[in-house]
Amino acid sequence: MSKRDYYEVLGIEKGADEKEIRRAYRRMAMRYHPDRNPGDEEAEEKFKEAKEAYEVLSDAQKRAAYDQFGHAGVGGGQGGFGGAGAGGAGFSDIFGDMFGDIFGGARRGGPSRGADLRYAMEITLEQAVRGTTETIRVPSWDDCDACQGSGSKDGSQPVTCSTCGGMGQVRMQQGFFSVQQTCPTCHGSGQEIKSPCNNCHGEGRTQTTREENIRIPAGVDDGDRVRVTGRGEPGAKGGPPGDLYIEIRVKKHPIFERDGNDLYCEVPLDFVDAALGGEVEVPTLDGRVNLKIPAETQTGRLFRLRGKGVKGVRGGGVGDLLCRVTLETPVSLTKEQKELLRQFQASVQKGGKRHNPKKSGFFDAVKRFFETD
């Protein structure tokens, strides 16, 4: 067996995903399969080479071992794969597998995994930060009461499908191509019910709902998904159930905004406190704290309260709470208050630029701009 690089054999990049690997193998199989190239030893060798490469790269564990150790990590490349007439898959089987995927083919009468379910859960910011347990209702299936799960209204057992002869699939031949697809009569089961139950229409089960207690871990964020294994739709014919995915939607909070593990809030401040300094009470998720405001604080300034943010669900430290102060202009002033403000304004103007350095700097820049014209 050739020692060529498996990625080179299939003509793909090392970072190719599962779909690319599968498509590449199918192209090789269609071109070099012995059924299409009878007596061509070179084509048979290339098919064996492609088959070996595919069986390694399509298996996550084998691929990881190959990527790390090369052929030595997967037994030195001695896969022992047979070609036509030696236990290998026939050319028609290759096509059947391909087109079965395209047209929704299913294995005859075998168990099938249940579908995954998705549920959008809306929670508050507090619930997202601290975690919560919520009860939801999800769709499920029970045996039909009318036919006791048989699918037949007269209690008779299913019979071999008359369309596909129990194979679960039908094959259509068009020249060289043989296309295999799911039987339209039995939908892949290989059996049909002559007198289907009027209640479940031959399914043998009916849809209902069940309650699930879902634990949401602390630290989840908007858009996160919580996977509950095995709590999706039940499988058919003894197949395993699917999974339940909870998609988190965090409601808008009246005070806080979240950015990663940090929280932000705006703190309104009157201009006296901003000018003279003082203390204001600000909220946190753990209660109220006093925030010290230094004199001459400007609007938009951020104050950081360390450790008052969120501990993320994926670990790491606790974030911070960042308080952005915004100066609030007084409203509904009395005549006396307005007069006092005018007196204050006149007093400030006498001090010149030192009381309003930003304002003075701005208008000086404007003046220079127009003077240059």
If one compares 177 and 261, the residue with the highest pLDDT of the two is 261
Q: Could you give the CA distance from residue 192 to residue 190 in angstroms, rounded to a whole number?
A: 7
User: Is pLDDT of 365 > 90?
Assistant: no
**Residue pLDDT, tens place only, 309-329:** 999 888 788 999 999 999 988
The tokens describing 309, both together, are 């943010």
If one compares 299 and 169, the residue with the highest pLDDT of the two is 299
Query: Do residues 128 and 18 share a domain?
Result: no
Choose the weakest-confidence range: 165-169, 336-340, 363-367.
363-367
Domain assignment of residue 323, given as a range: 257-328
Q: Is the four-CA dihedral 120, 124, 129, 134 of positive or negative sign? A: negative
The confidence score (pLDDT) of residue 373 equals 55
Query: Do residues 132 and 237 share a domain?
Result: yes
Q: Decide: 217 and 125 in contact? Cβ < 8 Å.
A: no
Query: Do residues 348 and 364 share a domain?
Result: yes
Domain boundary among 217, 250, 283: 250
Q: Decide: 192 and 158 in contact? Cβ < 8 Å.
A: yes
User: Is pLDDT of 83 > 60?
Assistant: no
Q: Please report, rounded to a whole number, the percentage of residues in the chain having pLDDT higher than 90.
A: 31
Q: Could you give the CA distance from residue 170 to residue 123 in angstroms, rounded to a whole number?
A: 49
Question: What's the helix, strand, coil split of the chain in %, to 5?
Answer: 30, 25, 40
| CATH code: domain of residue 136 | 2.10.230.10
User: Is pLDDT of 56 > 80?
Assistant: yes
Domain boundary among 250, 267, 284: 250
The confidence score (pLDDT) of residue 124 equals 96
Of 237-241, 283-287, 360-364, highest mean pLDDT: 283-287
Considering the domain boundaries, does residue 165 fall inside one? yes
Whether the model clears a pTM of 0.85, i.e. scores above it, the answer is no
What is the arithmetic mean of pLDDT over 211-226? 93
Considering the domain boundaries, does residue 101 fall inside one? no
Considering the domain boundaries, does residue 262 fall inside one? yes
Q: Decide: 233 and 253 in contact? Cβ < 8 Å.
A: no
Number of neighbours of residue 286 by Cβ within 10 angstroms: 9
Considering the domain boundaries, does residue 190 fall inside one? yes
The confidence score (pLDDT) of residue 18 equals 85
Query: Do residues 351 and 320 share a domain?
Result: no
The confidence score (pLDDT) of residue 37 equals 78
User: Is pLDDT of 60 > 50?
Assistant: yes
How many structural domains comprise the chain?
4
Considering the domain boundaries, does residue 158 fall inside one? yes
User: Is pLDDT of 148 > 80?
Assistant: no
Query: Do residues 84 and 123 share a domain?
Result: no
Query: Do residues 125 and 190 share a domain?
Result: yes
| CATH code: domain of residue 15 | 1.10.287.110
User: Is pLDDT of 82 > 50?
Assistant: no
Considering the domain boundaries, does residue 229 fall inside one? yes
If one compares 147 and 133, the residue with the highest pLDDT of the two is 133
Kindly give the interhelix angle for 18-32 and 91-102, rounded to the nearest 10 degrees.
140
Domain boundary among 250, 276, 305: 250
Query: Do residues 307 and 357 share a domain?
Result: no
The confidence score (pLDDT) of residue 174 equals 61
